[in-house]
Amino acid sequence: MILTAENYYSQEANREYMSVSQYKTLFGTFGKVACEARAIAELNGEWEQEKTTALLVGSYVDAHFEGTLDLFRAQNPELFTKAGQLKAEFRKAEEIIARIERDSYFMKFMSGQKQVIMTGEIGGAKWKIKVDSLIPDVCIVDLKVMKALRDVFRTHDAEYMGFVEYWGYDLQGAVYQEIVRQNTGKTLPFFIAAASKEKEPDIEIIQIDDAHLKECLIGIESNVPKALALKSGAYQPIRCESCDYCKHTKILTSPIHYTDLMMGA
Ligand SMILES: [Zn+2]
């Protein structure tokens, strides 16, 4: 299967290739519990990831830098109010874009080839990636629009971390760096070009060092056989019982104890 901008997110492509988002649904991140059942339901077309406003804002900014904003606006009528005005969240996106464009260092990182699709092999599976800005022989850049850049998150083990690790963007960097290496023969540094939706948008170019990416890659490689087994239907996927998919499909058979409500809190 040859991947294009049109079929990149198709069910067929998701069945044939692993992607970072599929991996994160299967194995979770610090910030989001894994749900094998949801990942498999998405592959089977039984569940669709909700197009949240937060996701759309990110896509809006991506589309701007890709030069496809007109098309994006035409394809997403939900960006506008009934009166035809851009909704507040997307006016904020416009403000973030203007802030980014005012910074020439940030813009250097956004000057690469946009939305570059590549495929490769990790851990015995075929993978697909789509790079926001690839500067050949120089670096790999992923653009992220976040609520804030300096929020500190606390994990269940009482560890503190920033948004990059919490949401598994380091895993994304590891996969991108490896697949670009397989396609170009070069190990390029990975950067997150980040902007915030705060009242005054914050901006940073954030590097994830190669040593950390290598560590992430080793972890991913060891998980891939399980992902392939799940995707082939070799065993029953585990339900997380906390995501929207699990809430939507759960069937009650017995009461729970009142203290069970605090499980996982
Ligand atoms: Zn679930």
- For the residues 145-153, what does the mean pLDDT come to? 97
Instruction: Decide if 96 contacts 200 (C-beta within 8 A).
Output: no
35 C-alpha vs ligand 1 centroid, how far in Å? 4
Global pTM reads 0.95
Judged against a pLDDT cut of 80, whether residue 183 lies above it is answered with yes
The verdict on residue 35 lying in a domain is: yes
240 C-alpha vs ligand 1 centroid, how far in Å? 4
Q: How many angstroms separate the CA atoms of 194 and 204, rounded?
A: 5
Judged against a pLDDT cut of 70, whether residue 265 lies above it is answered with no
The verdict on residue 3 lying in a domain is: no
85 C-alpha vs ligand 1 centroid, how far in Å? 36
Give the confidence band of 158 by pLDDT, cuts at 50, 70, 90.
confident
Neighbours of 96 (CB within 10 A): 22
Judged against a pLDDT cut of 90, whether residue 172 lies above it is answered with yes
55 C-alpha vs ligand 1 centroid, how far in Å? 19
Give 100's contacts (C-beta < 8 A, 6+ positions apart): 61, 106, 107, 110, 193, 195, 203
The verdict on residue 96 lying in a domain is: no
Length of the chain equals: 265
The structural domain count of the chain equals 1
The verdict on residue 93 lying in a domain is: no
Q: What is the 3-state secondary structure (H, E, C) of the chain?
A: CCCCCCCCCCHHHHHHCECHHHHHHHHCCCCCCCCHHHHHHHHCCCCCCCCCHHHHHHHHHHHHHHCCHHHHHHHCHHHECCCCCECHHHHHHHHHHHHHHCCHHHHHHCCCEEEEEEEEEECCEEEEEEEEEEECCCEEEEEEEECCCCCCEECCCCCEECHHHHCCHHHHHHHHHHHHHHHHCCCCCEEEEEEECCCCCCEEEEEECHHHHHHHHHHHHHHHHHHHHHHCCCCCCCCCCCCHHHHHHCCCCCCCCHHHHHCCC
- For the residues 98-110, what does the mean pLDDT come to? 98
27 C-alpha vs ligand 1 centroid, how far in Å? 12
244 C-alpha vs ligand 1 centroid, how far in Å? 7
3 C-alpha vs ligand 1 centroid, how far in Å? 28
Residue 156, pLDDT score: 84
Domain of residue 229, residue span: 11-49+103-262
Instruction: Decide if 124 contacts 155 (C-beta within 8 A).
Output: no
Mean pLDDT of the chain: 96
Amino acid at 235: Y
213 C-alpha vs ligand 1 centroid, how far in Å? 28
42 C-alpha vs ligand 1 centroid, how far in Å? 11
Model confidence pLDDT, tens digit, residues 11-69: 999 999 999 999 999 999 999 999 999 999 999 999 998 889 999 999 999 999 999 99
The verdict on residue 44 lying in a domain is: yes
The verdict on residue 92 lying in a domain is: no
Domain containing 218 — which CATH number? 3.90.320.10
Judged against a pLDDT cut of 90, whether residue 73 lies above it is answered with yes
The verdict on residue 173 lying in a domain is: yes
Model confidence pLDDT, tens digit, residues 184-235: 999 999 999 999 999 999 999 999 999 999 999 999 999 999 999 999 999 9
232 C-alpha vs ligand 1 centroid, how far in Å? 19
The verdict on residue 145 lying in a domain is: yes
Residue 264, pLDDT score: 62
Beta partners for 207?
191
Judged against a pLDDT cut of 80, whether residue 263 lies above it is answered with no
What are the distances in angstroms from CA 243 to CA 58, 116, 188? 22, 31, 36
Neighbours of 147 (CB within 10 A): 10
